[in-house]
Amino acid sequence: MATPLTFERYTGNWRGSYEGWLMTTKTFGLKMPKTLPGLGNFYMAGQWVEPGGGLPPAAISGRNAVRKICKKDGKRFRTIRDWSLN
Which residues in this chain contact ligand FAD in the complex, by CB under 6 A?
A: 7, 11-13, 18-19, 46-47, 53-56, 58
| Nearer to ligand FAD (CB atom), residue 74 or residue 79 | 79
- Sign (positive or negative) of CA dihedral 39, 42, 46, 52: positive
> CA dist 6 to 9, 10, 19, 22, 48, Å?
5, 6, 15, 19, 19
| Cβ-proximal residue to ligand FAD, closest one | 46
The CB-of-31 to ligand FAD minimum distance in angstroms stands at 16
Q: How many residues does the chain have?
A: 86
| Nearer to ligand FAD (CB atom), residue 19 or residue 34 | 19
Which amino acid is present at 20? Answer: G
| Nearer to ligand FAD (CB atom), residue 59 or residue 70 | 59
